[in-house]
Amino acid sequence: MLSVVQLSCERDDRLLFSNLSFVLSPGEMIQIEGRNGAGKTSLLRIIAGLSSSYTGDVLWNSQPMPKVYADFRLDCFFLGHKPGLKLDLTPLENLAWRSRLANTTVSREGLLAALHRVHLAGYEDIPCSHLSAGQLRRVAFAGLVASQASLWILDEPFTAIDAEGVAWLEGLFDEHASQGGMVLVTSHQSLSNLKGNLRKLRLETFAAEAYIEEAVFEKQGADNGQF
Structurally, what CATH architecture does the domain formed by 1-72+181-221 represent? 3-Layer(aba) Sandwich (3.40)
The DSSP output letter for 55 is: E
Summarize pLDDT for 18-63 with one digit per residue, the tens. 899 999 999 999 999 888 888 999 999 999 999 888 999 999 999 9
Q: Which residue has the higher pLDDT, 179 or 218?
A: 179
Residue spans per domain, the chain = 1-72+181-221
What is the structure's pLDDT at 213? 46
Q: By C-alpha distance, which of 65, 25, 17 is closest to 42? A: 17
Kindly give the interhelix angle for 133-146 and 163-178, rounded to the nearest 10 degrees. 10
| Partners of residue 225 on adjacent β-strands | none
Record the pTM: 0.83
Which residues contact residue 188 at a Cβ distance below 8 angstroms, ignoring those fewer than 6 apart?
Answer: 33, 156
